[in-house]
Copies of this chain bind each other. A is one copy, B any other.
Amino acid sequence: MRISEDQLASFSSTDFHIRSLDLLRERFSKQNLNFEQVIRKIQEFQIAIPSAALGNGKAKNKKSRTGGEPRNLNEKLEDIGLLQQLTCKTNSVSVYIPWDMPEDYKEVKDLANELNLEFDTMNSTSSQDQNQKEYAKLGSLGNPNKAIREEAIAHNEEVINIGKKLGSRGLTVWMADGSNFPGQAKFRSTLGWTEESLREIYEFMPSDWDLMLEYKPYEPNCYHTVVPDWGTSSMLAKRLGARAKVLVDLGNHLPKTNIEQIVATLMYQNLLAGFHFNDSKYGDDDLNPSSVKPYQLFLIFCELICGDQDGAQAWDSISWMIDASYNTQDPLVDLIQALEAITIAYTKAMLVDRKKLQECQQNGEGSQAQEILQMAYLTDVRPLVCEARVRAGGVAEPLEAYRILMIRNKLVHERGVKSYNSIF
């Protein structure tokens, strides 16, 4: 389904919004902030939706169904199209293989064109979810058995081939490989095999593609994961070549990790591939971005803007993708919230008085730096985000519009109550 232009137009911004925006403009008038530029940057900022998020999710606890879930990749594109109509924040899909195999490439690409959607990074799979595969047990690209490693490499090459047909430009590799008990795996061997496998994949990749290496300290493994931290991921990336970089998934860190520092350190080396946005309190919970640690997301965007402005690593070289699992409620509602939360963090970070902050940093003035950050963080930037969205053709309040338009009901009507495919 599509939302009509008329319907969209009926959710325009209010007089209240205009006054809010004016007040905001006034507040930052002293700071020499280019408001129009901020709005333009918000508009340009687009976040990819993972195909896996739209169906029945990849949550640990698959608790509920909303009905009307997309039954195939085409219907997932349609869902993203709806999100884009409402929010103007997501112009691409990141496809997971084998979960979202395209059936008819022409049809899929035509549909994407029609919806103004692009194909972001492709995702291969190495985890135990593919429990029909032998490599579920002892790993994929780092499996001690060469035949299984070759199977895993072939799977990645297939994903690249599919991506080439779709027009994608990159491959994200997350390896669930690891072990559960001390002694069970030989660290250096698994790492070595993984490096070899990745090299084959890297060399198979078209020359204009990027390889994005994710890392994760534990889960599903209980003792060791082959690529547990950014250090290992960046070591492998550097050994592979300039088109291999490190992907940061916010949920994949040990307790208390300073993630914003990792982001800065990767930018220092021009090694940041991009993000999987989500949030967590305990483990790899894949909760909605900003639902637990909104200030951390703000601090990360501060580093991103700073690194871009300093010329450490260009903004456009970084990929943005949501990786939250929508397990208790309507996934489209969750995705609208996620897109909004990420954009808010980004917008707040743009309001930081960087000039003043750098002066503080030169003198290590902690409480003054805190004051400058808070000045931006405490600001209600929703009028700015709304303005950018409305100017781009979206609605003022996407969640409200989603409900008033009864989109979920319509999807259930179109696709049925129990429509999801049962890949997981």
Interface residues of A in 190-232 (CB under 8 A from B): 191-192, 217-220, 222-224, 228-232
Nearest CB of chain B from residue A318's CB, rounded to whole Å: 15
Q: How many copies does the complex hold?
A: 4
A288 to B369, CA, bound (A): 12
Nearest CB of chain B from residue A214's CB, rounded to whole Å: 15
**Residue ID in chain B nearest A222 by CB atoms:** B285
Q: Are B361 and A186 in contact (CB under 8 A)?
A: yes
**Neighbouring B residues of A23 by C-beta, 8 Å:** 16, 19-20, 23
Q: Are A181 and B369 in contact (CB under 8 A)?
A: yes
Q: Are A137 and B188 in contact (CB under 8 A)?
A: no
Q: Are B228 and A231 in contact (CB under 8 A)?
A: no
A21 to B103, CA, bound (A): 56
Known: A183-B357, A187-B264. A330 touches B367 (CB 8 A): yes
A292 to B235, CA, bound (A): 28
Q: Are B222 and A287 in contact (CB under 8 A)?
A: yes
CB of A337 closer than 8 Å to a CB of B: yes
Q: Are B258 and A281 in contact (CB under 8 A)?
A: yes
**Neighbouring B residues of A7 by C-beta, 8 Å:** none
CB of A422 closer than 8 Å to a CB of B: no
CB of A317 closer than 8 Å to a CB of B: no
Q: Are A373 and B255 in contact (CB under 8 A)?
A: no
Known: A23-B20, A222-B281. A366 touches B181 (CB 8 A): yes
CB of A421 closer than 8 Å to a CB of B: no
A113 to B254, CA, bound (A): 47
Residues 277-320 of chain A, each 1 if its beta carbon lies under 8 Å from chain B, else 0: 00011110101101111110001001100110010100000000
Identify 23 residue pairs between A and B in the complex whose beta-carbon atoms are under 8 Å apart, listed by A's number.
A16-B26, A23-B23, A62-B131, A63-B136, A179-B366, A181-B369, A182-B292, A182-B299, A182-B370, A182-B373, A185-B364, A187-B260, A187-B265, A217-B258, A219-B282, A223-B292, A228-B258, A254-B257, A256-B281, A288-B367, A328-B364, A329-B365, A333-B368
